[in-house]
Structure 1
Amino acid sequence: MTGAGLGPVVVTTPSFGLYSDAPWQAIEAEQLDVRRSRAKGPLSPAQLREEVTEAVALIVGVDRVDASVLAAAPHLKVIGKHGVGIDNIDLQAAAEAGVTVVRTPGANSRAVADLAVTLLLAGARKLLEADRTLRAGAWNQLFGQEMHGRTLGLIGFGQIGREVARRGAGFGCEITAYDPFLPEEVFARDGVRRCSLPELLATSDFISLHVPMPPDGSPLLSREALETMKPGAGVVNTSRGGLIDSAAAADLLRSGHLGFLAADAFEEEPIPPDHPLLSAPNTVLTPHIGACSDGANAAMGSDVIHDVARVLRGEPPHHPVSPDPSTTTQTRH
């Protein structure tokens, strides 16, 4: 198929169209020449450079797309993110190269929110420890925390954060949120109390993270920040692994200052065997499966294909990403 593509569209994310036919139907409808990467993702910049020499479009998951990848792709017109977070893509380098970046906001919001609440419940009710001890022959009726009447603090109140808020409210939680980039009416509409980050850390029984990495790459929940949390509080991270100082979190789990930590994202993926959280108590760890649902897989794949095709046809995409609101990205033609 050639159609709108005028060249190959390289897909690196292994989960693309894995649990749904919808993305493949979108490819057929758009008449794109889609090719899987030769190596299994996530790919390093060096591996990506080998894949993109003829590509007119690149669809990635968490692969690191830096300036060297763009320099190796003279025909590239568009990068599509199979998901929402775009901190793995050098947006400024893409803008300077005239490459449009698109993503799929909202496509995986419900799936990630479902997992966040699942992890919260598993940590609060000690489900993994109960399962493990039962299988070992013990009958330990472990006591945990109810959600009703507890304060659930959300760091980040975008689409996923708002979905988590609605689920938490259904369990009877009081919901607070920190997000300095949103107007007050967004919080009021969902009946959520806006607060500062220090207040959220000090008053929340459960904290759920829904933000990108800070620009300087430092953990938002540093050792100092974690130590200001309410003793016994639990943390859920379905966003980015680097948001939490894992070594500090492991120490505070052992001391009991942290009640539990449930994580679906890590600084390095797959995580190394000596990762500090692997040996820490009261943890629930999953291999970045937040978007691994049938609905999210269908929506992310289809949405990114249609937006990539729009760019290749010279049409404005539905969900472009700019390195800065004041920056206008020129598309290669």
Structure 2
Amino acid sequence: MTQKPKILIGPSSYGNVDPAPITLLREAGYEVVANDLKRRYTREELLDRLPGIVGLIAGLEPLDRPILETSELKALARVGSGMVNVDQSAAGELGIKVSNTPDGPTLAVAELTVGCLMNLLRETSAMDRSMRAGKWDKRTGRQLRDLTVTIVGFGRIGRKTGELLGALGVTIIAVDPMYREDVAGVAGMSLHDALSQSDAVSLHASGEEAILDAHAFASMKDGMYVLNPGRGGLVDYKCLFDALDSGKIAGVWADAHPEEPYKGALLNYDQALLTPHIGSYAREGRVKMEVDAAQNLIDDLKAAGI
């Protein structure tokens, strides 16, 4: 019996919401190798599992040149939009087809961002914790309307977040070198200028270099709110802790973390709202991303004759 080409699944939750993407891969004639650790693979774990694998459904695993060079991959399909974990130049040189699913997570991340900002403004989760501890602790929060929110990274998700917030009466400022002020009512500014006149900042940029560093925190007004559904490295955590301790930051939501699973000091702050990197984890968007990634991988492998 001819052995089927093998596809490795990277994201630990892939196919959990709906088996459709796994079924699609199997019906296309591939053997699906599940993520046996149920968490993100490390470099060493990925190296152990890649021999004999021709296709990879990728999450945020480190797919750098050394890993790609030692693999037998012919295609990899990223579940999501960000590609900073993939050395696309090396993949191109090695003949590895690379794809992503930029549209799937857009609305899910934008809606969650708006919801978490409202949570921080009204301290909903903090009061829930207080009540569970036996306290009747009424806190006076803030409304969204008439706030100014800076969105760093004004791509698909940043624009959708701005659209949702704008409909609720929020003034939006975009910080993005590619933004050409093509959205009515949304001004483009430098990070320093935007932060100095904003009530909150939401990070939707790619990369792992700190955007909110000491200089950025110094530019903020007191009582600022920080939202990070982007990447864990976008915030300098030492500066964040200092700003939380001083009261400059009134609240922070972190969905992306410097290391995951996150077990760091931000867990000790009552002003922090923490989620385990689930920005795209709305059923509709998640299924679309996973099915699109499966189809992208199938198309690229079939084009390679596999």
Q: Place the TM-score, normalised by the shorter chain, in its bin.
A: over 0.9
Q: Which amino acid aligns with 1:197?
A: L
SS, match of residue 58 in structure 1: strand
How do 1:1-333 residues align onto structure 2 when only pairs under 5 Å count?
7-74=5-72, 76-185=73-182, 187-188=183-184, 191-213=185-207, 217-272=208-263, 275-314=264-303
Return the offset for 1:278.
1.7
Return the offset for 1:32.
2.9
User: What count of residue pairs does the alignment treat as equivalent?
Assistant: 306
Q: Which amino acid aligns with 2:161?
A: V
Q: Quick one: structure 1 residues 332 and 31, their matched pair in 2 at CA, closer, same or farther if it must change by over 3 Å? A: closer
Q: Which amino acid aligns with 2:77?
A: G
TM score, norm. by length of structure 2: 0.94
CA distance in 2 between counterparts of 1:60 and 1:69 reads 13
For structure 2, list consecutive stretches of 5 or more residues without a partner in the other structure. none
Task: Select the structure with the greater relative contact order (CA < 8 A; seq sep ≥ 6).
Answer: 1
Return the offset for 1:50.
1.4
CA distance in 1 between counterparts of 2:130 and 2:291 reads 43
Contact 2:126/2:270 (CA < 8 Å) preserved in 1? no
Contact 2:13/2:38 (CA < 8 Å) preserved in 1? no
Contact 2:280/2:286 (CA < 8 Å) preserved in 1? yes
Return the offset for 1:173.
0.5
C-alpha offsets along residues 21-52 of structure 1, whole Å, 9 cap, x if unaligned? 33134324533322213333311111111111
Considering only aligned residues, what root-mean-square deviation do their CA atoms show, in Å? 2.0
C-alpha offsets along residues 57-77 of structure 1, whole Å, 9 cap, x if unaligned? 111211111222212213x11
Relative to structure 2, which stretch is displaced further, 291-300 or 34-43? 34-43
C-alpha offsets along residues 98-146 of structure 1, whole Å, 9 cap, x if unaligned? 2121110010111111111111111111112211222222222101111
Relative to structure 2, which stretch is displaced further, 27-36 or 220-229? 27-36
Q: Quick one: structure 1 residues 180 and 313, their matched pair in 2 at CA, closer, same or farther if it must change by over 3 Å? A: same
Contact 1:98/1:332 (CA < 8 Å) preserved in 2? no
Relative to structure 2, which stretch is displaced further, 132-141 or 159-168? 132-141
CA distance in 2 between counterparts of 1:184 and 1:30 reads 44
Relative to structure 2, which stretch is displaced further, 143-152 or 84-93? 84-93
Q: Which amino acid aligns with 2:214?
A: R
SS, match of residue 252 in structure 1: helix
Contact 1:125/1:145 (CA < 8 Å) preserved in 2? yes
C-alpha offsets along residues 169-202 of structure 1, whole Å, 9 cap, x if unaligned? 12211111111123332x33xx422222111111
SS, match of residue 59 in structure 1: strand
SS, match of residue 284 in structure 1: strand
CA distance in 1 between counterparts of 2:28 and 2:102 reads 21
CA distance in 2 between counterparts of 1:24 and 1:39 reads 17
TM score, norm. by length of structure 1: 0.86
C-alpha offsets along residues 230-262 of structure 1, whole Å, 9 cap, x if unaligned? 211101000001100112111111111111111
Contact 1:18/1:297 (CA < 8 Å) preserved in 2? no
Return the offset for 1:332.
9.5
C-alpha offsets along residues 2-30 of structure 1, whole Å, 9 cap, x if unaligned? 8xx96111112111111023313432453
SS, match of residue 304 in structure 1: helix
CA distance in 2 between counterparts of 1:228 and 1:10 reads 45
Contact 2:255/2:276 (CA < 8 Å) preserved in 1? yes
Same amino acid, percent of matched pairs: 32
CA distance in 2 between counterparts of 1:281 and 1:227 reads 22
Match of 1:324 in 2: none
